[in-house]
Structure 1
Amino acid sequence: METLANLESFVRSAEAGSFSAAARRLALTPAAVSRNVAMLERNLGTRLFQRSTRKLMLTEAGERFLHAIRGNLEGLQAAIAGAATDRGEPAGVLKVSMSLMFGLDYILPLLPAFLARYPGIRADWQLDNRQVDLIAEGFDAAIGGGFDLAPGVVSRALAPAHIIAVASPAYLQGRRMPIDPVGLAALDGIVMRSARTGRVRHWTMRNAAGEEMAATLPETIVLNDPAAMCRAALLGLGVTLIAVPDALPYLESGALMRLVPHWYADAGPISLYYASRTLLPSKTRVFVDFVAETFRRERLAERFAGSLG
């Protein structure tokens, strides 16, 4: 009878397209994953992968075998995970990706209470502004917006990502306040250049009545990070269009002011991304539930809603 380790090494390698990526997901060495797959091929008497120095591709037999076992493997893993949860508390390394500013302001402060509740979990969190490949890079979860939902990955919406216009009181002093998004063009703009496309992002804003209007800021200052955009606005360098969560601490302290407060742009939801629910380890499940419950309790979805003015 084939071992679970061999089958799991095969499935993860097929999903990720490489032994190295599968090894990160399984907490094994690439050599161990390759050895498990080779043993599986030997036991089955057929080649499952075409190997090259750059790419790992399924053979026709490999495609058929993957289709036949994937659902059964997930059910077996879920049963094992359930039995393990019954034996004790969630444990292990929890690898999570999130953006720097959002992580520092809203997720990192949850860590003391989370680890006090689940002392067997060790946090391995990466805070940067890039979209990760959960499966290929071995992450248990990611928090952000606009992720591509690769096969085997699901999302759980936490709050809206609404974009609003903000500036410092010092910058606005003596200037005429715009009455709609078009009026923002008369002010100095702090805009963001996308690291992925190399283009400056422009937004179309809307109001509660459903009216839409382009908000085109002058490219007075171009930056590539929301934290830097907030800092530039705090320094009185101009107006920036930024997500509510990034600006909220400064709006609540009065360090920044919202312009055209009945207008906002919708950048989609802020979500938790993680592997398919049938494969979810207990450490990841309790993290997802803990974060979602905190967002409900703190009413963060409501606080992040630029549509509320």
Structure 2
Amino acid sequence: METLGNLLSFVRSAESGSFSAAARRLGLSPAAVSRNVAQLESNLGVRLFQRSTRKLTLTEAGERFLANVGSGLDSVQAAIADVAGNAGAPSGILRLSAAPGFAKDFLLPLMPDFLQQYPAVIPEWQVDNRQVDLIAEGFDAAIGGGIELAQGVVARAIAPAHLILVASRQYLAGHGRIERLEQLATLDHLAMRSVQTGKVRSWMLQSSDGQRAPLEITPRLLVNDPQALCQCARLGLGVALLAVPDVLPYLQDGTLERVLPDWHVDAGQIYLYFSSQKLLPAKTRAFVDFLVERARADRWQSLLDARQSSAHASAHIR
């Protein structure tokens, strides 16, 4: 009978592609993880990994073994954690990932209530503009968009991911009234390079009456961070395409104004990502239920919808 430690070392190493990454998730040394896997291979009489100096690759036998034990092992581990965690009471370190802007304005303000409800849970936030690998990097949950739904991960929509064109009031005052798409060519455009590809992404605008048109721009200035892009727009350097959560506070205080408010980019949804295992750790289940309820109570679906006039009732729309 194989030990749980040997099996966990194998599964986490297979998911992350390295003993070091698996060790970080399991709280062991890389040498201990390597020994556990070697012992498992010896006991089974087969090689599960092809090892190189750069990465681990599953053998054919390793792929079959992972498919057979992976999901079952997650259930066993979750059941153990559920029973051991003070009879299922939420406790322990909760590893979370989100983009800096959304975390600052929407997620971190919820923490006083969450900490009061769950005093034994310690949220550990990683705020970064990248798409994390929930399983391989050991996160309990992530909030954002575009994360690949790998095996064992589910996504729950919590708000629309809409982008809108914005500029400062001072900048727009010097360029006349912008009422048609063709007039965008007369403005200075601020753009962002993708963190993943290093390229300026192409976007498709759509109107409230169903029209669609590509956003064709020649950037006057480029950055690689949405908060920096928002700051450039606030400084009056030009017009920028930004997500509604990043600009909502500045629309409401009049620092920024929408350009062509009948048009927006639909980038899908903002999701809450977490493990699909049936027995989630109590700390993760508590956070999922808490965030879903607060998103509903605070009406994120309508607040962040660029098509809803009520979403920006206090904004000065040009």
TM range (shorter): over 0.9
Equivalent residue for 2:123? 123
Equivalent residue for 1:27? 27
Residue 217 of structure 1, CA deviation:
3.4
Residue 299 of structure 1, CA deviation:
0.5
Structure 1: gaps spanning 5 or more residues: none
Distance in 2 (CA, whole Å) between partners of 1:271 and 1:288 is 11
Residue 86 of structure 1, CA deviation:
6.6
Residue 158 of structure 1, CA deviation:
1.2
Distance in 1 (CA, whole Å) between partners of 2:279 and 2:53 is 30
Equivalent residue for 1:277? 277
Counterpart of 1:186, as a letter, is T
Counterpart of 2:11, as a letter, is V
CA RMSD of aligned residues (A): 1.9
The answer (yes or no) to whether the contact 1:24–1:136 under 8 Å persists in 2 is no
Match of 1:87, SS?
coil
Distance in 2 (CA, whole Å) between partners of 1:219 and 1:19 is 43
Moved more, 273-282 or 49-58: 273-282
Match of 1:13, SS?
helix
The answer (yes or no) to whether the contact 2:99–2:127 under 8 Å persists in 1 is yes
The answer (yes or no) to whether the contact 1:182–1:215 under 8 Å persists in 2 is no
Residue 164 of structure 1, CA deviation:
0.5
Distance in 2 (CA, whole Å) between partners of 1:259 and 1:283 is 43
What are the Cα deviations for residues 115-144 of structure 1, in whole angstroms up to 9, with x where unaligned?
Answer: 111111112211121222222222222211
Counterpart of 2:214, as a letter, is A
Equivalent residue for 2:90? 90
Residue 85 of structure 1, CA deviation:
5.3
What are the Cα deviations for residues 124-170 of structure 1, in whole angstroms up to 9, with x where unaligned?
Answer: 21112122222222222221111122222221111111111111111
Equivalent residue for 2:113? 113
Residue 226 of structure 1, CA deviation:
0.9
Distance in 2 (CA, whole Å) between partners of 1:289 and 1:281 is 12
2:210 pairs with 1:213? no
The answer (yes or no) to whether the contact 1:262–1:308 under 8 Å persists in 2 is no
Distance in 2 (CA, whole Å) between partners of 1:147 and 1:88 is 29
Residue 18 of structure 1, CA deviation:
1.3
Distance in 2 (CA, whole Å) between partners of 1:15 and 1:279 is 19
Residue 211 of structure 1, CA deviation:
0.6
Structure (1 or 2) with the greater helix fraction: 1
Equivalent residue for 2:41? 41
The alignment's TM-score, normalised by the length of structure 2, stands at: 0.90
Equivalent residue for 1:4? 4
Residue 306 of structure 1, CA deviation:
0.8
Structure 2: gaps spanning 5 or more residues: 310-318
Equivalent residue for 1:258? 258
Distance in 1 (CA, whole Å) between partners of 2:213 and 2:59 is 52
Distance in 1 (CA, whole Å) between partners of 2:275 and 2:31 is 24
Match of 1:115, SS?
helix
Residue 196 of structure 1, CA deviation:
2.4
The answer (yes or no) to whether the contact 1:182–1:213 under 8 Å persists in 2 is no
Equivalent residue for 2:190? 190
2:268 pairs with 1:268? yes
Distance in 2 (CA, whole Å) between partners of 1:229 and 1:167 is 11
Moved more, 243-252 or 102-111: 102-111
Counterpart of 2:66, as a letter, is L
